[in-house]
Structure formats: structure tokens, C-alpha cells
């Protein structure tokens, strides 16, 4: 597995990370503990060194699983986790008060069975707490050796600049994919200017870009609350997957691999974190790091995607209100 540095911070990670949330948290279809830990081990054996979790995933249980599963490999992996949700639940609200950040960090350290957190993100920007106070608190935690690097998630360019002035931001985690290219307008240029890495979550469009979603989702599926995943919008947005599938077939790769290879080709400081519960999908994702897209192929993908208008918001209303703008 190739390695990448997240901006100018010096933090080096595998080109493709692993989003751990779905291992035991999504859709009632998570793996049992033994199988989840085995998949984490298989990811490490295949070169993945970058693992993403959060106290809100579960809540709490995902950190416990990741901590136990990666304990044998702790010195060889980068573990990222997050603070910022009230009672570890986005549905309850946001809370990034300094005392909360400290309490959450201490609790996360215990659940992750580690003495330090490699990358600590603010999960969502709290409008009630100055970002300077947030950055200052994480700076103190870094000086104390409990945290190594500071990250933000779904933050605006304005917020990124304010935080970066207090404590250098190593990475911004935001949704970015061929299903959601809005970060290209302002966020990506800001990251490049400041030397901050990009960690795209949902790089496969929450599974949509793999082509396996083509009809109404099961009632238990958590994506049902997302406007882009209504039955009507799935049908309308399939034109994107069909167009990308045609390009992928010409290269003899899957549509998902095309989507990941496209992301990796955008900037050398981008490290996507797709998640999966299946070994064959993990291997398929990892194989995308060896796919080289030519300038002509990238131009064709851009032309194709730019000619398609996608429908539906990417978050339900209560989560849209938490986005920093």
C-alpha cells in the first residue's frame, strides 16, 4: 500500500484508510465482534494503516471495538477519533466546550486502549464555542502527549483558517466524492494553501457509486433518512452511476474503484476512508490505489459528471443545520 502525507503536518497514512463506523453501527447489519476484529486485522495485513472511528459511533461501542482490534498493531497504525456531539449523539446536539473535549478525550483513550490519539477531530463545528477555544484545548492536549494531530470535520474555510492560526490543522474530514463535489469550490483550495490534508468520508457516495443501490432501500437502512436516497431520487441519480459504469468497463475496473481512483488522483494529500464489512470489498477498494487514470480519462470523468444534475440533499434537515457555513 502506498503512503501519503496529510498536508504539511508530517502525518503519514496509507493512501486508503478504513472508515470503521459500519463495522458495528449501521443498518443493523454490523459484524459480530470476532468477525469485525478479523476484518481490522485483514486490513492491516493488506497495508491499511489509517483507521477512523468516533465516540458517536454506537455511541462508544465502535471505539471499543477498534481499540481492541488494533491493539496488537498499535505502533503501526494511525487511529483517528472525534469529539463534539452532545452525549455522543449528533441528534442531541453539539458540545465542544473545553471541559467536554477533555472529558471525551480521556474516555476515548480508555476505550481505544491507548496512551495517545493520533488524530483528534472536532466532529462538527459548535457555533456556541469559539473555534479558537477548541483549537487551544486540543493544542494543550497535544502538548500533554495525549493527542498528536488536530483535525476538523465539515468545517468552513473561515473556521479552518481561524483554527489553523491557533493550532495547525493536520486534516479536514469532509464528504467528497463524485457524488458530492462541493468541496472543490472553496475547501480544497483552502487546504492546499494552508498545507492541510483531506480525508474524504463517504468516498463511494455512501455506497451509491458502487452501483449496488438501484431501488428502494430496506426499511432498516439508515440511509432512508437521507433525501438523496429516497426511491424517487435513487432512480433519478442512477444516470450518474450508469455513466461512470460505462467508463469503468472500458478500463476493466469496477465503478467503485473508478470513484476511489478519481479521488486519489485529485491531490497527493487526499486519503479517502471507505468503509465495508466484507473482505472482498476491502480488497477491491485497496486495489484502486494501483489504478492510474490518464489525463484524458480524468477529463472524460469530469465532463460526464459535470453534465449530470444530481437531486436530493445529502443530509436530513437536523444534520444540515449543523453544517458550518
Residues 83-100 as b/e (b if ≥16 CB within 10 A, e otherwise) read bbbbebebeeebbbbeeb
Among 171, 109, 186, CA closest to 141: 109
Q: CA–CA separation, 258 vs 1, rounded Å?
A: 17
In this structure, what DSSP letter does residue 275 have? -
Find cell 483552502 and name the residue: 190
**Cα–Cα–Cα angle for 225, 226, 232, rounded to 5 degrees:** 100
Residues annotated catalytic, as ranges: 57
C-alpha cell belonging to residue 15: 493512501
Residue 66 · residue 79 · CB < 8 Å? yes
* 3-state SS class at 70: helix
What are the backbone dihedrals phi and psi of residue 132, each rounded to the nearest 5 degrees, phi first? -65, -35
Amino acid at each position: 500500500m502506498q503512503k501519503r502525507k496529510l498536508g504539511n503536518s508530517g502525518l503519514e497514512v496509507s493512501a486508503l484508510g478504513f472508515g470503521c463506523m459500519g463495522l458495528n453501527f449501521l443498518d443493523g447489519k454490523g459484524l459480530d465482534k470476532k468477525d469485525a476484529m478479523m476484518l481490522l486485522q485483514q486490513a492491516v495485513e493488506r497495508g491499511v494503516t489509517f483507521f477512523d472511528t468516533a465516540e458517536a459511533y454506537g455511541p462508544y461501542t465502535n471505539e471499543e471495538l477498534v481499540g481492541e482490534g488494533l491493539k496488537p498493531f498499535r505502533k503501526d497504525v494511525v487511529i483517528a477519533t472525534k469529539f463534539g456531539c452532545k452525549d455522543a449523539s449528533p441528534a442531541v446536539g453539539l458540545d465542544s466546550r473545553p471541559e467536554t473535549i477533555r472529558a471525551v478525550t480521556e474516555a476515548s483513550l480508555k476505550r481505544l486502549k491507548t496512551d495517545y490519539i493520533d488524530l483528534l477531530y472536532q466532529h462538527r463545528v459548535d457555533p456556541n464555542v469559539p473555534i479558537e477555544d477548541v483549537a487551544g484545548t486540543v493544542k494543550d492536549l497535544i502538548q500533554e502527549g495525549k493527542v498528536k494531530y488536530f483535525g476538523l470535520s465539515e468545517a468552513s474555510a473561515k473556521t479552518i483558517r481561524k483554527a489553523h492560526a491557533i493550532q495547525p490543522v493536520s486534516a479536514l474530514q469532509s464528504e467528497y466524492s463524485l457524488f458530492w463535489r462541493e468541496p472543490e469550490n472553496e475547501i480544497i483550495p483552502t487546504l492546499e494553501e494552508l498545507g492541510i490534508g483531506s480525508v474524504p468520508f463517504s468516498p463511494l457516495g455512501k455506497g451509491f457509486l458502487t452501483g449496488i443501490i438501484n431501488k428502494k432501500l430496506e426499511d432498516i437502512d439508515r440511509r432512508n433518512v437521507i433525501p438523496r436516497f429516497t426511491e424517487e431520487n435513487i432512480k433519478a441519480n442512477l444516470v450518474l452511476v450508469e455513466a461512470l459504469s460505462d467508463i469503468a468497463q472500458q478500463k476493466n475496473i469496477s465503478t467503485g474503484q473508478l470513484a476511489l481512483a478519481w479521488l486519489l488522483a485529485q491531490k497527493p494529500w487526499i486519503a479517502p476512508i471507505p468503509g465495508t464489512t466484507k473482505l472482498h470489498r476491502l480488497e477491491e477498494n485497496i486495489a484502486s490505489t494501483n489504478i492510474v487514470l490518464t489525463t484524458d480519462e480524468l477529463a472524460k470523468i469530469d465532463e460526464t459528471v459535470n453534465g449530470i444534475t444530481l437531486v436530493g440533499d445529502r443530509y436530513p434537515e437536523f444534520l444540515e443545520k449543523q453544517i458550518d457555513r
